[in-house]
A and B are shown apart, each in its own frame.
Chain A
């Protein structure tokens, strides 16, 4: 367990350090999510009620698009110039490597949700009515998206044309996450208050499932990329 944690911390720190150097998330992904939000705002501008009702769905679809970009990059940095061979020889625990990648994706997804949240609040005219459920569901949904990204990013990297393959593999898997996250977010925004906690619990289960799945398949993914 100690080796798993050690590997996870090392890989996460390394990924975030590389992100800090390149500023790829801040430079490209943040503007991308803001453009998506603005485009939806223009598209639904004629109906303010519809715009507010669509906020939760738009928010999480935008997060999923951003997650595709981040997961793609996260996998790509390991696929260059013999780094995969170095990782295989490194002795770093594969499960720890997976958890480290997932943690780094998680942190980057949280980062993009700050301007994204501000953007939808301003453009769509919504506010958090139930912040507890809003924050918790966002954290759990982000965990599920990050963990699955750390599975499907390396998986897609093994294919020719991985840029196109990743969304095809990744987005369908995220459908239940998007549904549960959207329902929870609607509840947090004051729409459909009833089942918010149930959807949040489902997000927790989905996050745990992806974490377990990724931990169990990490060694195989490392070998067969």
Chain B
């Protein structure tokens, strides 16, 4: 295992594209090219300490893979980064913005793909995308483009979300995330429930995002797939970043992908 703190190298110079709100990128550059800086972050959920002192740095444009066992705290790190879980102590900066004082701006810059769909079951695919797209100020053409980019079939657009298969639901959630034009993606098991083309689609989107300067945090157990995409990997254990993968030697084939040195 290389290290507990993740930084990426080559992609640090990635420029913000037109997809990225300029202010976010400027803030991130002001933070020394860091998209994420957690310092001793402790977070509670229902009184339980889900994060017990996370130190994490992620550079702009990198794909940071959060690895670890179930319940290790990967999802909690994603939720803190997305501004959905406030740290009880420690400092957290996202895209150069303070998570406490700049919460609305942080949230506006984040795209989240979680285990849950975040969609209204009773509304159709098109209605869901219209609602969530317009909420973040997207135009109709951008909403249509995000549906196409997530390869959501046109025949599904009038179908109620409740009637979709799990893979189809995932694609719609992905489209809703794409339409936000976020500069930080927080993905929780993005390949889960997807068929092979869907998994390839996610991989393609991740690489596109990286090339356009988007930073990605990805929590995944799909080591074979994520190892080839990630620029950095951190191990999460017991609500903190661990220097030990906790895996046996035979399972550590993907442990050397971390590109940066401490």
Contacts and interface: CB of A to CB of B under 8 A. Distances in A.
A26 interface: no
Contacts of B134: 10
A198 to B, nearest CB: 42
Interface of B is mostly: loop
Interface in A59-79: 77
A16 to B, nearest CB: 11
Interface stretch (B4-12, B47-55, B115-123, B221-229): B115-123
Interface in B104-138: 104, 107-108, 110, 112, 114-123, 127, 131-132, 134-137
Contacts of A90: 132, 135-136
Nearest to B186: A89
Contact of B120 (A18, A88, A91): A18
A86 interface: yes
A17 B128 CA distance: 11
B13 to A, nearest CB: 28
Given A82-B117, A89-B107, A91-B108, A77 B122 contact: yes
B84 A89 contact: yes
B121 A10 contact: no
Q: 10 tightest A-B contacts by CB?
A: A82-B116, A86-B118, A90-B135, A82-B118, A18-B122, A21-B122, A81-B116, A92-B135, A89-B107, A81-B117
Nearest to B134: A10
Contacts of B107: 88-89, 91
A2 interface: no
A85 B136 contact: no
Contacts of A85: 82, 84, 112, 114, 116, 118
A167 to B, nearest CB: 25
Interface in A15-42: 17-18, 21-22
B160 interface: yes
Contacts of B120: 14, 18, 77, 83
Interface of B: 82-84, 104, 107-108, 110, 112, 114-123, 127, 131-132, 134-137, 160, 176, 180
Contacts of A14: 120, 123, 127, 131
A10 B135 contact: yes
B112 A89 contact: yes
B117 A22 contact: no
A89 B121 CA distance: 18
Contacts of B121: 80-81
A80 B120 CA distance: 8
Contacts of B135: 7, 10, 90-92
Contacts of B116: 81-82, 85
A89 B137 CA distance: 13
A185 B116 CA distance: 47
B188 to A, nearest CB: 10
Nearest to B160: A21
A225 to B, nearest CB: 12
Nearest to B108: A91
A80 B161 CA distance: 13
